[in-house]
A = this chain, B = another copy of it.
Amino acid sequence: MTTNKTVRLGIIGMGNMGTSHAKNIIDGKIPNLELAAIADQNPERLEKFKDITHFSEGMDLIQSGTVDAVLVATPHYSHTTLGIASLEAGLHTLVEKPISVHKEDCERLIAAWKDEKLVFSAMFNQRTDPAYRKVKSLIESGELGSVERINWIITDWYRTENYYTSGGWRATWGGEGGGVLLNQCPHNLDLLQWIFGMPSKVTANCQFGRFHNIEVEDAVTAMLEYPNGATGVFITTTGEAPGTNRLEIACERGKIVVENGKLHFTRTEQLVSEHSKTATNGFQKPGVWNVEIPLPEGNGEQHNGILKNFTNAILEGEALIAPAGEGIHSVELANAMLFSAFEKSPVELPLDGAAYARVLKAKIENSTYVKPEIKGGKVEELSW
């Protein structure tokens, strides 16, 4: 906790997300959070914020003494290096998702958090969505009994070819370290582990450049197995329109479906496991109630909710919604899916992080992929 009543924040990386966060802070949407400095290697990106102290290098911002806290919003690989530097400089640190590209880097980043007085959080804004919060609380309360099966179809991450040609680093092993799993899905993978815990085994089919001219995965089907015997399926792609975002959960107390901002609960009058053992007819089913669980309008405070929580954690010791240490799990899931596809076999968790880092390094070194020339518009090159 600082003694100041205001937290001075520095944002490193003024791309889409950094710029969006900066505007919200300048607009006063985050009480007690002040945008004190920004950094980007691309000077054009700093021009919109002339009145804010700025740096071309994130490391200079970190060392400048102008901020109490840092938000790292750069491309993926530098989350690790800048996050470590920020923590080592004694600054509160908020890292965009994914916290790192692979499990070993996550471990290095998390190991740098030695001072528990520093607030260390990750931008998992979807944890503020009331639907997912409700599902988590229903499970934790015991209302649903044990979870038996999960099916998450999250294929509404449609991106056009233009998206991938708009940035030279995009969708490359060297630039992003993966495709839909590393860029779009960290939120979903985080919610998956946050709500259901980690699986013990992952078997995945990843398709590389199936829908787009890219070298990384743009379509994934993964089977998950949990320690208690529960099963899961996670399906994602950037190649589908309109796509689907539907989370189905079968549990001892019936079924939950989260889709289109609604949470529908088909509640069995008896635990399914009990009914099955005691029914005197082979085809009988337990009675059910159709329950619509009301949710607040909208999808929660999202990014601003995480920024408020980060600020309040610094000023008042508020519990974090998304501690950065938990960010390793979504990375481990993404890595495990890719590893399973590379090796064409199931992957047991915990993942061997060193083995995965070696495979990823080889992908980068052996890459022969050449970004196609962009038609119209400029290529925005990787600036970190």
Contacts and interface: CB of A to CB of B under 8 A. Distances in A.
Given A231-B205, A235-B233, A160 B223 contact: no
A162 B281 CA distance: 6
Interface centre among A272, A288, A346 (most CB of B within 10 A): A272
B345 A241 contact: no
B277 A235 contact: no
Contact of A282 (B166, B210, B240, B250): B166
A266 B210 CA distance: 22
A235 B149 contact: yes
Contact of A235 (B151, B162, B284): B151
Interface string A147-181: 01101010100111111101000000000000000
Contacts of A210: 229
A344 interface: yes
Interface residues of A, number: 59
A371 interface: no
Interface in A210-231: 210-212, 219, 221, 223, 225, 229, 231
A237 interface: yes
A275 interface: yes
A355 interface: no
A41 interface: no
A205 B225 contact: yes
Contacts of A279: 160-162
A205 B241 CA distance: 29
A246 B235 CA distance: 15
Contacts of A255: 240, 242-244
A56 interface: no
A376 interface: yes
Contact of A229 (B207, B229, B277): B207
Nearest to A376: B280
Nearest to A165: B282
Contact of A203 (B203, B272, B284): B203
Given A149-B155, A211-B276, A241-B285, 17 more contacts: A149-B240, A159-B282, A159-B283, A160-B284, A161-B276, A162-B279, A163-B282, A203-B203, A219-B231, A221-B231, A240-B272, A241-B254, A242-B266, A242-B268, A242-B286, A244-B248, A280-B377
Interface of A: 148-149, 151, 153, 155, 158-164, 166, 203, 205, 207, 210-212, 219, 221, 223, 225, 229, 231, 233, 235, 237, 239-244, 248, 250, 254-255, 266, 268, 272-273, 275-277, 279-286, 288, 344-346, 376-377
